[in-house]
Amino acid sequence: MRKAKTLLSVYLAYMLEYRAELFLWALAGVLPLILLGVWTEAGRSGDFPLSPGEFARYFLMVFLVRQATVVWVVWEFERDVVEGRLSFRLLRPLDPFWEHLAAHLAERLARLPFVVLLTLLFFYLFPEARFRPEPLPFLLGLLLTGLAFFLRYLMQYTTAMLTFWSERATAVEEVFFLLYLFLSGTIAPLEVFPEPLRHLALLTPFPYLVYLPAALLAGQEVSLFPGLWVMPLWGVVFLLLWRWLWRLGLRRYSGMGA
Amino acid sequence: MREAAIVLAQDLTKHYRVALKEESLLATLRHFFFREYRTVKAVEGVSFAIAPGEVVGFLGPNGAGKTTTLKMLTGLIHPTRGQALVAGHVPWRREKAFLKKITLVMGNKQQLIWDLPAMDTFRLNAAIYEVPEGEFRNRVGELAEMLGLQDKLHQPVRKLSLGERMKAELLAALLHRPQVLFLDEPTLGLDVNAQVAVRDFLRAYNRRYGATLLLTSHYMADIAALCPRVLVIHQGRLLYDGALEGLLERFAPYREVGLTLERPLPREALAPYGEVRALEGREAKLLVPRERLTERVAEILKRLPVEDLEVREPPLEEVIARVFQNPLPVEEP
């Protein structure tokens, strides 16, 4: 407990050193708000299963979910390995997984004020997005947002393990990101996907990283199945994969530059 | 000694596979499709044992295998072959109990968080190593006093001088009071005063806590001041393991004779008595084989206009340089 508290407080202090950058990072995540404008306009045609107001609410929630689930650990880990800084982390009796996780959680706290500010601004600009959420789905959406963060972190951390082999695991992450962008519901809600593609997407981990929590938060009618078993299943797969690659990777690590 | 050893290395070996590439466009293209590799034998069959509380210097030129050996002993890398036991643990298993007993300080790397005061890194380390709060305060106070760092703990690390930063690195690395300290070039880039301060601290730390130290340094003064025993490694192989004086006996079978002459003499006039290493005005330095020292000194005093004569050990740097001039095969395709 003391470990977690100290890690969070030190990394919060560290993140607050980068206030201006945090604001810019939060701002850089406004893609869903641009798509909000596009889809709301398209929604007016009446050709889509969601109304303009529902589109607006959905993309606003996509913005919030993405802000809460931003992960960059693969870049950090790659730098650690290439520059030999991983050596220091390996010398400590704490798996680097937890230290990076603490940094991410601390960053989330530091980012919060900017996110609230941006949300208020968009409620002002898009009055049709304003709504009174139903408590239960909203709480479930919050819970799933938390789980989405952990799953995304775990997925990216597993990808980061490839640094032991290629030194540029970020290239693999870029490919994953493309799938993520398309299949997670960031660009379009799954309701507008063709039926077969939607079923296929729901078997991948991506819709649970954005679509499911965002749709719940936006108060849309969504089916929790197959999500409730697909999401934990992917969690277990990546957990096992991470541990396996970590053990193999450490045997290959050469402590470059250190 | 082996039973009591706190650091034990047996036949420790590390081979790396390195991709080869020549510099030309064609070679670059070929490299893209078909990679050729060669094996670099960074460490080859190194064995030694260090008793608790010993301070041992690890000498060798760049690329000799010192750092690779330290990395194996601290569990950062797995050896290709051989065994090691440090404080009763196999290092590369990286058990928590092992990690709490050792530390590695690297002069060219830092663990302190750059943008925050050093105190924040200390707090972090104390939590990770599970040092109780009260004990943490005591240890920081004690180590900061030994290092003369009391008023620097709350300044951002980036505002500290290089010497202060190294001291803070040492403090961060020693908070969990490790039994075995591995130090890789701990005085790298420091000015003479800071070097002396770090050296004095390490000596005091070893005496106060009975900690075992294995350190590498390019500054012979560090080794001479701290290490009664040295390990010499060259091209991955251990060339010497023993007392520092023994190293001089074995690799420097000569003495340096310093002369102050009554009047300047040409080099040829001095050459019959030894190898002239320096000649400037009335000052000269000759290297004389140890077994002929008495005879040569007597001749010099008899035949040359000498005002003053002094016999010295040759500088350690020079001895080491001579050791390393002897190349050994190290790589194979």
- pLDDT, tens only, B237-264: 998 899 988 887 777 778 889 999 999 9
Closest approach of B270 to chain A, Cα-based (Å)? 48
Residue-averaged pLDDT of chain B: 88
Q: Could you read off the pLDDT tens digit of each residue along chain A, which spans 258 residues?
A: 888 999 999 999 988 888 888 888 888 888 888 888 888 888 887 778 888 888 888 999 999 999 999 999 999 999 998 888 899 999 999 999 999 999 999 999 999 998 899 888 888 888 877 888 889 999 999 999 999 999 999 999 999 999 998 878 899 999 999 999 999 999 999 988 999 999 999 999 999 999 999 999 999 888 887 888 999 999 999 999 999 999 999 998 877 654
Q: Are strands B55-59 and B36-50 parallel, antiparallel or unpaired?
A: unpaired
pLDDT tens for each residue of B65-101: 999 999 999 999 999 999 999 999 999 999 999 999 9
pLDDT in tens, B99-142: 999 999 998 888 899 899 999 999 999 999 999 999 999 999 99
Nearest residue, CB atoms, A88 vs list B96, B108, B109: B109
Of B76, B124, B127, the CB nearest to A255: B76
pLDDT, average across residues B302-318: 85
R_g of chain B computed on alpha carbons: 24
Retrieve residue B199's tokens.
Answer: 């050296």
Query: Which residues does chain A have within 8 Å of residue B65's beta carbon, measured at their own beta carbons?
Result: none
Asked whether the predicted pLDDT for residue B287 surpasses 50, the reply is: yes
| DSSP H stretches of helix in A96-226 | 96-125, 135-160, 163-166, 169-183, 195-201, 211-217
Place of tokens 């200390």: B122
Q: What is the pLDDT of residue A256?
A: 65
- ipTM summary value: 0.86
Give the pLDDT of residue B182.
96
Give the model's pLDDT for residue B329: 39
pLDDT at B328: 45
Residue B50: in which H helix or E strand, if any? strand B36-50
The ranges assigned to domains in chain B are: 253-312
Do residues B202 and B166 make contact, with C-beta atoms less than 8 angstroms apart? no
Is the distance from CB of A7 to CB of B127 less than 8 angstroms? yes
pLDDT score of B23: 76
Neighbours of A242 (CB within 10 A): 19
DSSP B117: B
Whether the CB-CB separation of A127 and A53 falls below 8 Å is answered with no
Q: What is the CATH number of domain B253-312?
A: 3.30.70
A220, A58 in Cβ contact below 8 A? yes
Q: Are B197 and B165 in contact (CB under 8 A)?
A: no
Chain A residues closer than 8 Å to B125 by CB: 92
**According to the model, what pLDDT value does residue B333 have?**
32
Are A12 and A110 a contacting pair, CB within 8 Å?
Answer: yes
Instruction: Express each pLDDT in B159-169 by its tens digit.
Output: 999 889 999 99
Of A10, A17, A84, Cβ closest to residue B123: A10
Is the pLDDT reported for residue B330 higher than 50? no
The pLDDT, as a whole number, for residue B326 is 60
Q: Give yes or no for a contact between B175 and B139, defined as CB atoms under 8 angstroms apart.
A: yes
CA distance B174 to B125: 10
pLDDT tens for each residue of B171-181:
999 999 999 99
Q: What's the pLDDT at A175? A: 92
- Domain locations in chain A as residue ranges: 2-252
Closest CA to B212 of B181, B242, B186, B183: B181
B191-231 confidence digits (pLDDT tens): 888 889 899 999 999 999 999 999 998 778 888 889 999 99
pLDDT given for residue A243 in this prediction:
97
Beta pairing, strands B275-280 & B237-243:
unpaired
Residues of B near A (Cβ–Cβ under 8 Å) read 16, 71, 74-78, 94, 96, 99-100, 102-104, 106, 108-109, 111, 113, 115-116, 120-121, 123-130
In chain A, the residue whose alpha carbon lies closest to the alpha carbon of B97 is A93
Q: Are B225 and B205 in contact (CB under 8 A)?
A: no
Work out the end-to-end distance of chain A between its first and last CA atoms, rounded to an integer number of angstroms.
31
Residues of B in contact with A253 (CB under 8 A): 76-77
8 Å CB contact of A93 and B109: no
Q: Hey, is the C-beta of A20 within 8 angstroms of any chain B C-beta?
A: no
Interface residue A239 vs chain B (CB under 8 A): no
DSSP single-letter state for residue B187: T
Structure tokens at A190: 């799954």
Residue among A61, A95, A104 nearest A212 (CA): A61
Element (H or E) spanning A203, and its range? none
- Strand partners of residue B9: B48, B84
Contact B116 A17 (CB under 8 A): yes
| pLDDT at site A258 | 47
- The label of the residue with tokens 């450490």 reads A250
Mean pLDDT of B292-320: 87
Q: What is the DSSP letter of B141?
A: H
